[in-house]
Amino acid sequence: MKITVLGFYGPFPGPYGATSGYIVEEGDTHILLDCGSGVISRYQRYYDLNDLKYVILSHLHSDHMSDMLVLRYALDILKSRGTINDPVNVYCPATPENVLEELKFKDVFKIHTISEETALNIGGIEISFKKMNHPVETYAVKMKKDDKIFVYSADTVYTEDLVDFAKGADLLLCDANFLSGMQGPHMTAAEAAEVAKKSGSKRLILTHLSPLMSLKDYYAEAKTLFENTEIARDFEVYVI
């Protein structure tokens, strides 16, 4: 599998940045994982919008799905021109219901709601979900191909559920919006490192980072606890 970072900021982007969005590729299949502000522009550096078939949204907060609301217009135009015929498959939580309703636009998306019981196989990638602790319904995402495992925490406070879910991950892409001493609905860099350490993950990528804080501070805090730590970077590609 190959994971490309389209945006890593949260809850709003820094200059020239974008919020949460990643492309996961395996063979001829690719999946857009989260679709925050600025992501659709960056997606088109790699693929034409006609090529988009699968989107997974970890939750329906704007910094993870706001570009879906402009993507729907693009798909409607492409549909009217006859360049696409089928709706894009979107896998996302069922709540908040008012946000989900915004995605039901002229049938450009085929909505599939997810839960912890959801099990997908897209292009040979086995995908499962684990509910996290966040103000809205939110799911961590695990993608497995053969013996390779990629886990995306989405947004959450520290929870042992994530430790269990991420067991043996080759790559853990983890929320680290806060630094130690801060409190709120996200993990600190140190807590992300603890999840990586306890889960036996091989590699930790810190993401959902605030543009108001130093990337060096995030890195320093996590690396003291987990050596194989990196900071998510725009357009960085990770291969597992």
CA angle centred on 215, ends 219 and 59, rounded to 5°: 95
pLDDT tens-digit readout, 24-42: 999 999 999 999 999 999 9
> What is the reported pTM?
0.98
Residues 6 or more apart whose CB falls under 8 angstroms from that of 97 comprise: none
Phi, psi of 103 (to 5 degrees): -85, -10
Q: Tokens standing for 112? A: 């599939």
Fold of 2-239: Metallo-beta-lactamase; Chain A (3.60.15)
Q: How confident is the model at residue 59 (pLDDT cuts 50, 70, 90)?
A: very high
Is beta strand 29-35 parallel, antiparallel or unpaired with respect to 21-26? antiparallel
Per residue in 97-137, pLDDT (tens digit) is 999 999 999 999 999 999 999 999 999 999 999 999 999 99
Q: How far apart are CA 157 and CA 177, in angstroms?
A: 10
Dihedral of CA atoms 16, 50, 97, 113 in degrees, nearest 10, equals -120
Per-residue DSSP letter, 50: G
